[in-house]
Structure 1
Amino acid sequence: MIKIKNIYYMLAYAYQSLNEASFKNIQSEEFENLHDLMAAILIRGVSNQLKRGLHKDYLVYTEATGNLKGKIDITSSIRQNTLMTRRMVCHYDQFSENTPLNQIVKTTMELLIKSGDVRVANRKGLQKLTLYFRNIETLNPFAINWNALIYHRNNATYKLLINICQLVIKGLLMTTETGEYKMNEFLDDQLMHRLYEKFLLGYYKKEYPHYSVSASYIDWNVDDDITDFLPTMKTDITLTHGAKTLIIDAKYYGRTMQTHSLFNSKSIISANLYQIFTYVKNKDRNGSGNVSGALLYAKTDEDITPDNDYSIGGNRFSVKTLDLGADWREIVVQLRAVVALL
């Protein structure tokens, strides 16, 4: 079981803006559940945004009105027979704070307010903040088009807020048989997998600045320059120091081993090992042996925990586990041991 405080540290490395001074006091707090942690982060984040001002944008409105403005829609006016009431259908722009970003933030705050797992102090904190959103509509949380959100210079400060909102809505929210909303205890595996990857990449970037750290692409080591229809190879984390490179593939699954029913035996998941093998061999196109690969699993409650090293075809391959249920200092030791594989 992952400790709630460790999830905060993971978020802090995945989203570097959580390292701002205004969030520092969260590190000293104790949280009994994930909902309360998310509420505390939103309270700080929304408070910071209010100091900067809520984002506003020009929104398009359509209404039948006697006060003509904007663009008059003759066709719609005739179809709706608005002339009988001395009105016309008009399309007009209005500079408003009722933007999708603010709607998502308000929707998330109200969902957390209704969650019984958020402590009273944090629920009151969220309720006070919603007063600043009184002119902003809420959304159906399951109908939000996250891919349609666009960030630019004027709203870039919303990135952290929206990422937290997405974790709450996509990772924690579910509906009951009666259609009411309910919060899960922990994020689903798919979102935790993404957070796990972002955390590892962010951690090594911040803590190992003298290394080259990236989620880099690998070219296929083809003989005739023909790469049509070959899949893209993008690593989760690539560490480079001097002439040596370590490719890390982050894995957050409910299990780390596959079972063979015929012989009742266990082995490393084949597809994962084939994937890291392909990455390393194509990266080490000269066969120097300076490229290594590591599968880094998040620890599960399985009886067997992989901790193996192999030398295959002149390259080193490791299969390790990271215990996210340990104290943070122990996690740091484990992460340092992974770098030692380089």
Structure 2
Amino acid sequence: MERNNNIPIRNIYYMLSYAYQTLNLTEYKQIGTEKFENVKELYAKILSIGIPILIRGGLSKGYISVEETSNVIKGKIDINSTIKKNALVNKKIAVVYDEFSENILLNQIIKATLVYLSRSNKISQKMRRLFYGLLPYFTEVSDVELDLKLWNNVRYNRQNIRYQFIVDVCRYLYEQLLFDESSTSQMMKEVQDEQRLSSLYEKFIYAFFKRETKYKVSHPQIQWSVDDEFTDALPIMQTDLVLQKDKKTLIVDAKFYSENMVARFEGGMTKQNSGNLYQIFTYINNWKADPEEKVAGMLLYAKTTALNQPNHIYQIKGNQIFVVSLDLQQDFSNIKENLLAYVNQFFT
């Protein structure tokens, strides 16, 4: 996992830039020219710019359910709650109604993040003061305890999609600070680091080809080619990336692991990860291809520090499978060049 920590901060910034188009806004341009000591500084700087942008655009609102006792009938009367609270003694009833409010989960996460960051000694005093100064804009938002489980309940739509980048970065920074401060074992920290960067890596790869090429870019689910239409309990085949051009289709699966190849015993010969190879082979064989369509697969690994790295092309049952590794430590112009060269092997 040493490699993960050694990915240049500038390259993580570029990955974020592709994964989230928001970073192309004028307000963020200064970030691309600054130098950061660590990724925490990068995330904090992004939030220091991004949260004020959200505030200027107006905090999103949503309908939330409110329960209260009142002498005015509004919404629905809750008879059971009225009896339990003995509200009728005071000539009141329990009512339940919807209120259009800023007190929604997205704003609660941002407020909780601001509170956490304003007290953290892992970021500069200047940043702490800046985050503390943003809290008055969230006075109508309830305080919640910051917990990674909060993000599991986040749902986006056309009205709140502008929050996605900032809320994701809130999580990236919180995780980074949380595992720095906790007594979690080094192994667990490495696993969490891998998971976080794996998600960003997948988003970056997809967005890169969407922006930099003229291929048809998508990430569809592949349906199982069953004989009797019975698909109960079959796992979902969700692709990371599918590139198409001139009746050629390349199914790409992005892989970000601490180990790209495996050996049965220490010092033994390294082999491809069988699970990954079976996965991409299954994708190819279940893809519903047109009669003249040529289909291939690619396992696109992030390069590790291991001596042996995937760099192979297989011909299996009439289909090509490319297994390659991308060095995220090199200059970003070389990363772009490598990515384009990898897929051009198939399309040209």
Fold equivalence (TM over 0.5): yes
Q: CA offset at residue 72 of structure 1?
A: 5.1
Q: TM-score, normalised by structure 1?
A: 0.84
Give the equivalent residue in structure 1 for 2:206. Answer: 201
Equivalent residue letter for 1:295: L
In structure 1, runs of 5+ residues without a counterpart are 179-183
Greater shift after overlay, 262-271 or 233-242? Answer: 262-271
Q: What 5-or-longer segments of structure 2 have no aligned partner?
A: 1-5
Contact 2:198/2:255, CA 8 A, preserved across alignment: yes
Counterpart AA for 1:205: K
SS in 2 for 1:146: helix
- The match for 1:181 is none
**Counterpart for residue 341 of structure 2:** 337
Query: How many residue pairs align between the two structures?
Result: 334
TM-score normalized by the length of structure 2: 0.83
- Cα deviation digits, residues 23-71 of structure 1 (max 9, x gap): 2221112222222222222222211111111123343333446x54535
Separation of aligned partners in 1, 2:41 and 2:55: 21
Q: Secondary structure at the match of 1:137?
A: coil
Determine whether 1:242 maps to 2:265: no
Distance 1:58 1:336, change over 3 A: closer
Measured in 1, the distance between the counterparts of 2:191 and 2:281 equals: 32
Moved more, 283-292 or 233-242: 283-292
Q: What is residue 211 of structure 1 aligned with on the other side?
A: 215
Cα distance between partner residues in 2 of 1:268 and 1:123: 46
Q: Which residue of 1 aligns with 2:129?
A: 124
Relative to structure 1, is the Cα distance of residues 238 and 72 closer, same or farther in structure 2, using a 3 angstrom cutoff? closer
What pairs up with 1:165-180 in 2 under 5 angstroms?
Answer: 165-169=170-174, 173-174=178-179, 176=182
Q: Deviations over 1:228-264 (max 9, x none)?
A: 3444333211111212222211111111111112982
Aligned equivalent of 1:115, options 108, 120, 137: 120
Are the equivalent residues in 2 in contact too, given 1:204–1:213 (CA < 8 A)? yes
Structure 1 residues 92 and 315, CA gap change in structure 2 (3 angstroms): closer
Residue 133 of structure 1 corresponds to: 138
Aligned to 2:275: 271
Instruction: Classify 1:263/1:323 alpha carbon distance in 2 versus 1 (closer, same or farther; 3 Å).
Output: closer
Kept in 1, the 8 Å contact 2:66–2:97? The answer is yes
Q: Indicate if the aligned counterparts of 1:171 and 1:191 stay in contact, CA closer than 8 A.
A: no
**Which structure shows the bigger proportion of residues in helix conformation?**
2
Quick one: percent identity of the two aligned structures?
A: 40
User: Distance in 1 between the 2:327 and 2:301 partners?
Assistant: 9
